[in-house]
Amino acid sequence: MLVKKKQRTYQRATIYFSSGTGNSYRVAKWFYETCLAKNIISELIPVNIAQPTKEISASAKQLVALAFPTHGLLPPWSVIKFLFRMPRKKKTHFFCIPTRGSLYIGPLLLPGAAGLASFLPSLILLFKGFRTKGAVGFDMPVNMTFIHPTLTPKHASRVVARAKRKSERYFELFFRKNSLWLTRNNLYELIWSIPLLYFIPLFPILYLIIGKFFMGKILFANNNCTGCGTCAKSCPVGAVIMKSVKNRKTKRPYWRYNCEACLRCFNFCSQRAVVAGHSWGALLWYIGVLVAFGGGLFTLITGVLPWLQSFRNWWTIELFNAVFYYPAFITAYFLYFQLMRIKLLNSFFTYTSLVRFFGQYHEPDTSLKNLTERAAPVNN
Ligand SMILES: Cc1cc2nc3c(=O)[nH]c(=O)nc-3n(C[C@H](O)[C@H](O)[C@H](O)COP(=O)(O)O)c2cc1C
Ligand code: SF4
Ligand code: SF4
């Protein structure tokens, strides 16, 4: 006789999200609404204000879900830190919901790739005693709008509508099957990840480093900035601070190294004043390339001090690079911030940035308030 598997009923769902431009918030919200429709007491909480030790219990009736953007085939660094900060919970169920960036080339829709982002959170929580119940990635409009043009509103809403339909199917399946691992979606992620990691094994790690130390450091505020401070208040990792500037009435934003390039500040600034300095970025990149690959600086210095040649090997070059690399970046950005105070130079870097061709993007129905506040526990 065929025995039908009993559908699991949860009493409580704690849904965490990390979201730069609202895509992951939107998918988390769909999951939240599905839980409410199933009479599960549900909460929707931004990762940066979460207190997981208070919010989740060790029970098979407790479900924890986490939605976040993919950054370089990994969850953003703040999400990885959040996962490590999760308490040990035996029996608690976990469901992972990465979003990825999808775009149109002509009429063709190209899906994104979440890769390790689909599996790493479950692996970390497995070691913490959680029962990991599945993962499903969603293609949402790609939001790297400091390096590419935004999707047209028509294309963006098509991508969101497609993801919504998929969410209805997959979330129902999750509750019906009590688990969601063996899916076409996860097979696709494995197919992507394995060859990529085989050929470029350090890609995600390099990305974490470049993303953290490079990308955020090419952002600056152009002359349109009113000093309103919204970017600083709403940054999920507190990476923007407002600094007083001599001879100016208003403060100006300064981007610190913990910026994760989530692009919230960039895409939500009402003055379109956040700019990626591509010309400056090229210069910084040049410093990085010169130093990190090939020991260019070492070569230059041994030209002046030839006796140093006898110490030349892979280790000394790498050590030399590390000692030079980070201070060079820090000094470079300090200099950048100072230069931006000069109106003419500010206009030059604004003009030589490609972002004026790109536009801003955030998930159409998502506001900054949605991204920064929790939805109190609700039971339908
Ligand atoms: C810095 C950065 C890196 C990204 N890397 C990837 C990636 O590796 N794969 C992918 O599919 N999408 C990538 N994306 C796109 C986002 O993951 C995607 O648009 C996501 O839905 C954004 O969600 P959010 O609005 O909640 O931040 C990246 C976006 C940014 C800003
Ligand atoms: S960059 Fe934009 S959000 Fe930030 S202070 Fe200036 S105007 Fe306000
Ligand atoms: S500074 Fe801007 S891009 Fe960087 S983490 Fe904060 S909001 Fe995101």
Residues 172 and 41 in one domain: yes
Q: What percent of the chain has pLDDT over 70?
A: 88
Q: pLDDT tens, 346-367?
A: 898 888 888 888 888 999 999 9
Q: Identify the residue with better confidence: 300 or 99.
A: 99
Q: pLDDT tens, 106-135?
A: 888 889 989 889 999 999 999 999 999 999
Residues 223 and 139 in one domain: no
Q: List all residues whose CB is within 6 A of at least one atom of ligand 1.
A: 19-24, 69-73, 99-101, 112-114, 140, 142-144, 211, 261-263
Residues 238 and 178 in one domain: no
Q: pLDDT tens, 244-263?
A: 877 778 899 998 888 999 99
Residues 215 and 309 in one domain: yes
Q: Which residues pair with 135 in a beta bridge?
A: 96
Going by alpha carbons, the residue nearest to atom 8 of ligand 3 is 262
Closest CA to 62 of 125, 9, 13: 13
Going by alpha carbons, the residue nearest to atom 4 of ligand 3 is 259
The DSSP-derived string for 118-164 is GTHHHHHHHHTT-EEEEE--EEEE---TTTSPPPPHHHHHHHHHHHH
In the structure, what pLDDT confidence band is assigned to residue 3 with cuts at 50, 70 and 90?
A: very low
Residues 161 and 181 in one domain: yes
Residues 306 and 275 in one domain: yes
Residues 35 and 135 in one domain: yes
Report the predicted TM-score, pTM, of the whole model to 2 decimal places.
Answer: 0.88
Going by alpha carbons, the residue nearest to atom 2 of ligand 2 is 269
Å from CA of 195 to ligand 3 middle: 31
pLDDT of residue 266: 93
In the structure, what pLDDT confidence band is assigned to residue 1 with cuts at 50, 70 and 90?
A: very low
Residues 39 and 177 in one domain: yes
Residue 238 CA: nearest ligand 3 atom is: 6
The DSSP-derived string for 178-210 is S-B-SSHHHHHHHHHHHHHHHHSTTHHHHHHHH
Strands 108-110 and 62-69: unpaired
Residue 255 CA: nearest ligand 3 atom is: 1
3 state SS of 112: coil
Q: List all residues whose CB is within 6 A of at least one atom of ligand 2.
A: 221, 225-231, 253, 269, 271, 273-274
CATH number, domain containing residue 74: 3.40.50.360
- Listed in sequence order, the DSSP H helices in 246-341 are 264-268, 278-292, 296-304, 314-340
Total domains in the chain come to: 2
Buried b (16+ CB within 10 A) or exposed e, 276-311: bbbebbeebeebbebbbeebbbbeeebeeeeeeeee
Tell me the residue range of the domain where 90 lies.
12-199+366-378
212 secondary structure, DSSP code: I
Amino acid at site 96: C
CB 212, CB 237: distance < 8 Å: no
Which whole number is the average pLDDT over 191-201?
Answer: 77
In the structure, what pLDDT confidence band is assigned to residue 335 with cuts at 50, 70 and 90?
A: confident
